[in-house]
Amino acid sequence: MNMNPSDPDPALSRLLREWQPQAELPPRFQDRVWERVAGEERPAVSNLWAAFRDWLDTRFRRPVVALGYVAVLMSIGLGVGHWHGRADAAQLQDELKARYLQQVNPFLH
Amino acid sequence: MKRPRIIVLVGLLLALAGYFAIYHVTLSCCGMPAKGEAAELGWLKQDFHLSEAEFRRVSELHQAYLPACRERCARIDAKNGELRKLLAQAGAVTVEVERALAESATLRGECQAAMLRHFVEVSRAMPPEQGKRYLEWISARTLAPQHDSMAPAAAVRPPEQHGH
């Protein structure tokens, strides 16, 4: 008998090649596989979120930091609001001036 | 522990509240006109530092000027209509067309004169310095050159310096 060193049992190999499994896949097999894949990916995000929460916990444990954060955010809000308000007010003034000029000067087109 | 998240939320809410509050305050004090008759002219009061009485006078002058101005415009439009009709009928610049043209020019001149009289009246209703400023501002916008493209290049070029 010719023995192939990479195939120690040719009979078993032949049997395996001929074997046709008849078992049916369970219902929603593919969906479950993808759910598991997604489940494997999720912890990366939740780990990031947890790390961020931990970082916040440690940072905001000090009242000075928490107050500073609130103050900075509020200053940004006030600053942007003031800037935006001035820009809109200037635009409105320009429109009113143009309207006035058109009213008093009928030759203006 | 939920406290940090509450702090984050409070910070964001305060920033938003601050934004909207200051936006409306800035807009109402710097640009938003008041309701009613002052709506159109509120900026005049602000720009030319008018008192309540001066502003009321300026508003009265403005309200009195507008109907008369509209009437003059209607007369000019009617005259221009007549001119178009005459030109279409004659197909040439006839004596009638020239007469209508002259009448239209007279009406336009009257309208411009009334407009300038109104500007002077408004400027006199303001404090002297502001009135002068208003007159300069409005003159620059109403009597600005409109025929630059038709004027010869020499006419629009700034005067040359004399050698002596």
What is the predicted ipTM?
Answer: 0.74
pLDDT in tens, B25-42: 988 877 665 555 566 788
- Classify residue B159: in a domain, yes or no: no
Using an 8 Å Cβ cutoff, are A72 and A66 in contact? no
DSSP B54-84: HHHHHHHHHHHHHHHHHHHHHHHHHHHHHHH
Using an 8 Å Cβ cutoff, are B141 and A99 in contact? no
Using an 8 Å Cβ cutoff, are B123 and B142 in contact? no
Determine the pLDDT at residue A75.
Answer: 94
For residue B74, give its domain range.
42-142
Residues ≥6 apart with Cβ < 8 Å to B20: A81
C-alpha dist (Å) from residue A9 to A19, A21, B57: 16, 21, 114
User: B136: domain CATH number?
Assistant: 1.20.120.1490
Considering its fold, how many domains does chain B have in total? Answer: 1
Candidate from B25, B33, B66 with C-beta closest to A103: B66
Determine the pLDDT at residue A84.
Answer: 95
Candidate from A70, A86, A108 with C-beta closest to B11: A70
Give the mean model confidence (pLDDT) for residues B91-120.
Answer: 92
| A4 bridge partner residues | A7
Determine the pLDDT at residue B49.
Answer: 92
Which chain B residues are within 8 Å of A56, Cβ to Cβ?
4-5, 8
